[in-house]
Structure 1
């Protein structure tokens, strides 16, 4: 590799590092404005960096991960692992269809229970 190309590679690396540090210094409203600009201009790499900073600051969407748990009624029937799996699959399928028809994005098991 010749010297000018090495110099260019080093410059790009250092400029990228400086840009990453500058993101942390931007005020929240400016950062969000930069997200819009990067989106409109189709700047994928820049947008990814901006959204990482948005996520780190807790701005916009990015809720905490939701735990979605399923519990079986306390009956002898559900003591059989095969029955539990078949019921969970069928019940889950019904709840997913219901969630899609209602535009629901939360835990599907909040839409109904086997006890009901």
Structure 2
């Protein structure tokens, strides 16, 4: 696991990179995101958890304070991204993007809005 903390206009942005095994399922990733989200690390406004299948290629996006990779410039990294979870703690918005093959080879299979799950879990 790697983390990068950035401050932009007095807002804290935290990106975490995780290495996962190929056998990890969407459900495993969702459970992991739910547990991590409850703690809201570093009082960040924005958190992103990026899940790679290879730790050698687990690198942060070139653009600061974002979870978006450029598939042309960052092709090698995008071929190993299996899922990305993003959470805006100020608005309550959160999503999980899960890629059937990887980030480079296509759109997410499904997009989950996890904020409703989180509200239910905290009650």
TM-score of the two chains, using structure 1 as the length reference:
0.24
Larger Rg: 1
> Which structure exhibits the higher relative contact order, with contacts defined as CA atoms closer than 8 Å and separated by 6 or more residues?
2
Q: Greater helix share, 1 or 2?
A: 1
After TM superposition, the score normalised by the length of structure 2 is 0.23
